[in-house]
């Protein structure tokens, strides 16, 4: 039976290690990453695609710094919006070209510029930890701190700006996305976790200098849409325990209870697998049937239960 599936594309699906991240490289990487997704669409499943944006926003910020004094400045929320348009276009084009080459009947594809509401009282708003943008010298860091930026030192590469990463509350465009999905549209949304905004006292919305985790925002959207399964495509085929140690072990499946236990034991790094496991737990505790975590190249096999790590409610 056709299902509604949210596919979360990790940053490695767009820019691979060692690449510059050119548009040509991203388009070629997407042709590989989207192959299994196209087959799911051919089988009649309804899809929502989300994606990361770390490298893209980083380059946008570099351009903004180089153009300082020559062009208007770009706040971080606008940078996220720009990255959604750029990456959405590449995914749309890649999908429709693959449809034609694979003989898949035409399916409309649309990118929805998506905003994610965050809570201004979230304690994470007062603890900037998410690195964004280029590396700076000590002299540049002094000037940036005078402008109110928070910076973190990397002993080998210099200083880098850090911003808060608050928890997502809701995706404002969820209703629009749901209507499009019901009409048979393949929707690309919540790029980079969504554009972070919060509601001020008079009820209006303002952008926030922050970054929302893509996996957590994808889970919030999946719950709002009543999605059947969440397919998280990342850089590894399986979730692993004791990652990087002689005791490393791949997991074929686990329950929410096991996921919580392993998370508490510190098996999943906060900036890597941790948010994916947290997102899986949130989705499954709010009605989701299954979360599959694997590489883009094994997406179809994982969907069929032949690869990847499968997380279940019980």
Residues 52 and 73 in one domain: yes
pLDDT in tens, 79-107: 999 999 999 999 999 999 999 998 888 89
**Total number of domains constituting the chain:** 2
Q: What angle do CA 292, 28, 94 make, to 5 degrees?
A: 70
Determine the Cα–Cα distance for residues 70 and 66; give it in Å rounded to an integer. Answer: 9
pLDDT of 132 reads 85
Residues 221 and 243 in one domain: no
Residues 222 and 248 in one domain: no
pLDDT of 55 reads 87
148 within some domain: no
What confidence category does residue 1 fall into, taking pLDDT thresholds of 50, 70 and 90?
A: confident
pLDDT: which is higher, 66 or 313: 313
pLDDT of 144 reads 86
Determine the Cα–Cα distance for residues 47 and 31; give it in Å rounded to an integer. Answer: 17
pLDDT at 298 over 80: yes
pLDDT of 136 reads 87
pLDDT at 154 over 90: no
Determine the Cα–Cα distance for residues 232 and 293; give it in Å rounded to an integer. Answer: 5
pLDDT of 303 reads 94
Determine the Cα–Cα distance for residues 298 and 166; give it in Å rounded to an integer. Answer: 31
What CATH number does residue 23 fall under? 3.40.1160.10
Q: How many CA atoms lie within 13 A of 65 on its CB side?
A: 18
105 within some domain: yes
Domain range for 290 is: 236-294+303-314
142 within some domain: no
pLDDT at 271 over 80: no
Catalytic residues: 11-12, 130, 214, 276
Residue 77, helix vs strand vs coil: helix
Pick from 165, 228, 222, 219: nearest CA to 196: 165
152 within some domain: no
Residues 308 and 190 in one domain: no
Q: Does residue 114 contact residue 77 with C-beta atoms inside 8 Å?
A: no
pLDDT in tens, 237-253: 999 999 989 999 999 99
Mean of per-residue pLDDT scores for the chain: 94
220 within some domain: yes
102 within some domain: yes
| Average confidence (pLDDT) over 182-192 | 97
pLDDT: which is higher, 106 or 230: 230
Residues 61 and 8 in one domain: yes
Least confident residue range of 148-157, 199-208, 259-268: 148-157
| Average confidence (pLDDT) over 59-76 | 91
pLDDT at 27 over 90: yes
Full-model pTM: 0.93
């Amino acid at each position: 039976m056709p299902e509604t599936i949210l596919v979360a594309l990790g940053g490695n699906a767009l820019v691979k290690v060692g690449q510059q991240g050119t548009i040509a490289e991203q388009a070629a990487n997407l042709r590989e990453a989207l192959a299994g997704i196209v087959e799911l669409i051919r089988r009649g499943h309804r899809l929502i695609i989300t994606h990361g944006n770390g490298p893209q926003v980083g380059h946008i910020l570099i351009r903004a710094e180089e153009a300082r004094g020559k062009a208007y400045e770009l706040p971080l929320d606008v940078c996220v919006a720009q990255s959604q348009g750029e990456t959405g276009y590449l995914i749309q084009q890649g999908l429709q070209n693959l449809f034609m080459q694979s003989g898949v009947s035409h399916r409309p594809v649309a990118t929805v510029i998506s905003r994610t509401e965050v809570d201004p009282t979230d304690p994470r708003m007062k603890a900037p930890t998410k690195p964004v943008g280029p590396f700076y010298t000590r002299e540049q860091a002094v000037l940036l701190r005078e402008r109110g930026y928070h910076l973190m030192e990397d002993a080998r590469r210099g200083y880098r700006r850090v911003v808060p990463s608050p928890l997502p509350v809701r995706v404002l465009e969820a209703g629009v996305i749901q209507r499009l999905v019901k009409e048979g549209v393949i929707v690309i949304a919540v790029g980079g976790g969504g554009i972070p905004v919060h509601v001020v006292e008079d009820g209006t919305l303002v952008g926030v200098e922050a970054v929302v985790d893509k996996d957590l925002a994808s889970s919030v959207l999946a719950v709002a849409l009543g999605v059947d399964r969440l397919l998280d495509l990342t850089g590894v085929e399986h979730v692993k325990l004791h990652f990087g140690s002689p005791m490393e072990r791949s997991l074929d499946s686990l329950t929410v209870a096991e996921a919580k236990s392993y998370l508490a034991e510190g098996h999943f790094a906060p900036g890597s697998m941790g948010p994916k496991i947290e997102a899986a737990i949130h989705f499954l505790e709010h009605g989701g049937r299954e979360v599959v975590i694997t590489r883009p190249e094994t997406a179809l096999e994982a969907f069929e239960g032949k690869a990847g790590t499968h997380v279940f409610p019980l």
